[in-house]
Structure 1
Amino acid sequence: MGQYWGMDNSQGPVLSLTVAQCWSRLHDQKVGRLITHVGDVIDVFPVNYVVDRDRLVFRTAEGSKLLELTINDEVIFEVDDHTDTDAWSVIVRGSARRLETDDEVQHADSLGLEPWIPTLKHNYVSIAPHEVTGRAFRRAEEPPRDGVQPY
């Protein structure tokens, strides 16, 4: 992650990432968290994924995840990582939809996305982002709790 930082100490411990920096991090990872919202229920599902051009694609079996996406397709997808010195988080807000046409499924098959656990997952889902944001953090010891704190 140090190669991503690219900032000097004068910018403080938190840095807003550009959209390009966010996509770079999304490309480098394989697992994220899908957040769905149906009625009063908010669910979080860890999924492995791939970036396909300007979208995220994952596979899923029939079940609550797929059902929730058909009820409300607006989702949040979160990916993060850290080392001893740096951390970052990227949030994708977008619309999810099941890929249904033969061409879409054949293209998704070519992406090399395989389930991490031995279950059958016949459904591909694509997330079209509306907004991609992220932040990077410099990790260090907590400042002293007493005394004057900079704002």
Structure 2
Amino acid sequence: MNELSEPVLVMSDDECWGRLATQEVGRIVTRIADRIDIFPVNYVVDDGSLLMRTAQGSKLFELTVNDEVLFEVDGHDDAHAWSVVVRGRAHALDTSAEVEHADSLGLRPWIPTLKRVYVRIVPESMSGRSFERGPEPDRYGVQPY
């Protein structure tokens, strides 16, 4: 990074989708009243939405009580880092055609448990930031304007 480059860049929606497609683990945030939970999940991008699998339990219960979710994914290497946050609604797939299509995407649980329910997150908005990594500027020296 040189003195004139911007260390934080806003990504377009297309760039966000491109980054989401490169990863397979993210975090879903759910909320019921004053309780907020965050769960790591593996996922796949599918035609403008995100698909994950889950089993009966707190995550699925919370999604049925309040379908508003946040979903966050990030990545990094030695030179760059990025983060994408999706705000949307989540719902379990309920038709056999939806489930058959989801089965064709190859999304498998990471741990040997049965996760029979597919959940689709339909974005209402998304934001992404990319960062150029580098040394911290001198905190006490003269700063360029």
TM range (shorter): over 0.9
Q: What does residue 135 of structure 1 align with?
A: 129
Q: CA deviation at 1:35?
A: 0.6
Structure 1 residue 51 corresponds to structure 2 residue 45: yes
Counterpart-to-counterpart distance in 1, 2:115 and 2:70: 21
- The answer to which structure has the higher helix fraction is 1
Q: What does residue 42 of structure 1 align with?
A: 36
- CA offsets 1:104-134 (integer angstroms, 9 cap, x no match): 1111111110000000000000000000110
Q: What does residue 74 of structure 1 align with?
A: 68
Counterpart-to-counterpart distance in 2, 1:134 and 1:23: 9
Give ranges in structure 1 of 5+ residues lacking alignment. 1-6
Counterpart-to-counterpart distance in 2, 1:130 and 1:30: 21
User: 2:138 corresponds to which letter in structure 1?
Assistant: P
TM-score by length of 1: 0.91
Q: CA deviation at 1:149?
A: 3.1
TM-score by length of 2: 0.95
Q: What does residue 13 of structure 1 align with?
A: 7
Q: Tell me which stretches of 4 or more aligned residues in structure 1 moved more than 6 Å.
A: none
Q: What does residue 25 of structure 2 align with?
A: 31
**1:10/1:18 Cα in 2 relative to 1: closer, same or farther (>3 Å)?**
farther
**1:150/1:42 Cα in 2 relative to 1: closer, same or farther (>3 Å)?**
farther
Structure 1 residue 146 corresponds to structure 2 residue 143: no
Q: What does residue 119 of structure 2 align with?
A: 125
Count of paired positions: 145
Give ranges in structure 2 of 5+ residues lacking alignment. none
Q: CA deviation at 1:65?
A: 0.2
Identity of aligned residues (%): 60
